[in-house]
Amino acid sequence: MKLSRLFIAVAGATAVSCVALVGCQSRASTGADMIMRNGFVYTVDSKDSVQQAVAVTGGKIVYVGSDEGVASYIGAQTQVVDLAGRMLMPGFIDAHMHPGDGGRAMTLCDLKYQTMTRKVFQETIQACLDAEKDKGPDVWLEVGSWDRMGMDGLDGDPDKSTLDALKTRRPIQVRSTDFHTVLVNSRGLAVAGIDKHTANPGDGKYVRDVAGNPTGICEDGAADAMAAVVPPATDAEKLTQSRAALDAMRQQGITSFFDALSGPENGKAFTTLELSGELTARALLAIKLDPAAATADPDKTIAEAKALAATYDQGEPKVAPGVSMRHVKLFMDGIINAPADTGAMLTPYLHNAGTDKAPKWAPGKNRGELYFPPQVLNPLLLKAVQAGFDPHLHATGDRAVRDSLNGIEYVRQQLPGNAFRPTITHAESVDPADYGRFKALDVTANMSFQWAQQAPSTVDGTNDHLGAERFARMEPSGSIARAGGRVAYGSDWPVDPLDEFLALKIGVTRSGDPQNPHSYGTKYAGRLNTAPALSRAEVLRTITLNAAEQLSWSRWSVRWRWASSLT
Ligand SMILES: [Zn+2]
């Protein structure tokens, strides 16, 4: 953030030269540490201006401008890089991802996001079991990156019997790519102690058959509960996974990342890697607030979050990457994609009142799941902000988005002048009446542009369940931007493969790239819908300056002083 801010400040004032710039006085004697010249330096300043050269001293950009102007920064020790006309721009800030899960997914039985029939699904998982014959009958097999929506379109949704048919006694759990669903076999349900008498958690459900027995499909909080039954990774395994995540980020040009669902494990792992000099991107970690705990005792929930933040948060960002923990994450709802239909909507999802051959889509009763009702959300958000946290609200459906905006409006009214930076992430379905409220309430919309393409998750059921009107405005990043709202990018990796450039491209085209293996081929070519797109300049801003604004580093010191004066 500091780098890009200074970069932008300097680029916007090239005529200013030395005034207030770090290192200016000494440059004649020692020169900059490094200069890069002869490039296409894309500044992301207010005019998206393009310069030629940059000088860096002590990890900070001290000059941006012409090749001629940078010449005086060259000293005897200066490293001079000839960019040979190539593009240089601020590092990517991925403002919503899950690096712990991403690193971990690389080590599981991996279904690799592939759309597969139930038969291929069974064969792939059987191969993983067969490759681990030495594992005892009580050791979980964990399977990741399952394209549930793709399978649903081909063969229908599976249940525990699909896994029970495999040759093993081991408990198995399969996690969907979106992380909102876990499928478990009968042995897994038994090991976890889940049966017809088990109550649903407040923020999810065990899907049941007509007799009330769990089918093996676990949604949201129930999926998390199932994942928690597996013994956690050891410290050594966690470090291996975190290194793998940082390696994947380096290959994408990510210099800062927001871990949208963190806990002490990730805080510990990234802090350890910082100490060993292996933390190659700034780590900003968000603490999940549990709806049941927050309803029962909101003060305790916030106090626990503060205590966790105090353990890992390192204060103001420095030049070298460090660890910060100053955000709280709230899941307002599930997901709007069929067949889950758990995103909270203002009006019901449609269901097929006809037949498969002659479908008749009509409103049903389901409006999705809302995990924080306003009477819990509003006072909780107020307490979180008073404690110095920025809220990061997962809201996919238009009702969850509206309730989130209402909650933020409430806090703005209670704390006028407070500089907190709220974010609504995903915002896949937004009522047009709410587009302008992102700007009015200074809320960042964090969007994953790769979802604005035709894919099994969008056009093989979700379109029918939403109906034509809602589908036509699905993934409204362009609409929110046109209404003046700030849009930032977050990959949500490993929900999708980590491919930032594909996502940026889809932000502009709102179409898949049939040539890219991380897209969905010619069957899914063409635009998602006719909702407006972002421009190239806009998408580059979403992954740099807007992401930095979402994460609001420069305001922290003031805000945390303000917060601590309250306590
Ligand atoms: Zn996420």
Alpha carbons 503 and 95: distance in angstroms, whole number: 13
CB 260 within 8 Å of CB 96? yes
CA of residue 492 to ligand 1 center, whole Å = 5
Buried b (16+ CB within 10 A) or exposed e, 23-60: bbeebeeebbbbbbbbbebbbbbeeeeebbbbbbbeeb
Q: Which of 467, 465, 429 is nearest to 447 (CA)?
A: 429
CA of residue 520 to ligand 1 center, whole Å = 21
CA of residue 428 to ligand 1 center, whole Å = 13
Residue 562 predicted with pLDDT over 60: no
CA of residue 348 to ligand 1 center, whole Å = 24
What are φ and ψ of residue 173, in 5° steps? -135, 140
- Residue 146 tokens, joined: 């399952």
CA of residue 190 to ligand 1 center, whole Å = 29
Q: What is the DSSP letter of 26?
A: T
CA of residue 485 to ligand 1 center, whole Å = 21
Give the pLDDT mean for 362-377. 96
Alpha carbons 294 and 291: distance in angstroms, whole number: 5
pLDDT, one tens digit per residue, over 481-499 is 999 999 999 999 999 999 9
Q: Mean pLDDT, the chain, as a whole number?
A: 91
CA of residue 24 to ligand 1 center, whole Å = 43
Residue 4 predicted with pLDDT over 60: no
CA of residue 423 to ligand 1 center, whole Å = 13
Greater confidence (1 vs 326) lies with: 326
Alpha carbons 14 and 112: distance in angstroms, whole number: 47
Other Cβ atoms within 10 Å of 367 Cβ, number: 18
CA of residue 104 to ligand 1 center, whole Å = 15
pLDDT, one tens digit per residue, over 424-478 is 999 999 999 999 999 999 999 999 999 999 998 899 899 999 999 999 999 999 9
DSSP 433-457: GGTTHHHHTT-EEEE-GGGSB--HH
Q: Provide the whole-model pTM.
A: 0.84
- Residue 165 tokens, joined: 């048919």
**Gyration radius from the chain CA atoms:** 24
Angle, helices 298-312 vs 374-386, to 10°: value is 40
Q: Which of 251, 301, 309 is nearest to 281 (CA)?
A: 251
CA of residue 347 to ligand 1 center, whole Å = 24
CA of residue 392 to ligand 1 center, whole Å = 10
CA of residue 31 to ligand 1 center, whole Å = 44
Task: Give the E-state strand segments of 373-451 in sequence order.
Answer: 390-395, 423-426, 444-447
CA of residue 481 to ligand 1 center, whole Å = 21
CA of residue 527 to ligand 1 center, whole Å = 24
Domains and CATH numbers, the chain: 2-90 (2.30.40.10), 100-229 (3.10.310.70), 325-562 (3.20.20.140)
**By mean pLDDT, which of 26-30, 188-192, 235-239, 411-415 is the weakest?**
26-30
pLDDT, one tens digit per residue, over 35-87 is 999 999 999 999 999 999 999 999 889 999 999 999 999 999 999 999 999 99
CA of residue 176 to ligand 1 center, whole Å = 13
